[in-house]
Amino acid sequence: MRYVLAASLLLFSTTSLMSQWYFGFVGLNYMFGRTVAEKFKYIFPCFCIFGATLKSDMVWTIQDIALGLLTIPNLIAMVFLWPKVRKATKEFFGTPRT
């Protein structure tokens, strides 16, 4: 059982790191261009090593702060896009579908 757990943890952590690298690369490429995104290839592994050497309490604190900062632009976008979402919702549910 412990080998199954170890293999599952290894696969989960590896695929999580790959997906986070990909999302970061694509996001930076979209927002700032290819040159910034290319630098991310070298910075991301450094942050992974840095995070692996910290105590877990510090990693969770940094993660909580980062996630909290990510909610700010999302909340601002929700406030500005609310009228469009409301209009689209009324149009979708207001017209009969055939």
Q: Between 77 and 95, where is the model more confident?
A: 77
pLDDT, tens only, 42-71 = 999 999 999 889 999 999 999 999 999 989
CA angle 7, 10, 12 (to 5 degrees): 105
Q: pTM (2 decimals)? A: 0.63
Mean pLDDT of all residues in 10-33: 93
Contacts of 17 (CB under 8 A, 6+ apart): 48
The mean predicted confidence, pLDDT, of the chain is 91
Mean pLDDT of all residues in 7-36: 93
- Contact between 27 and 44 under an 8 Å Cβ cutoff? The reply is no
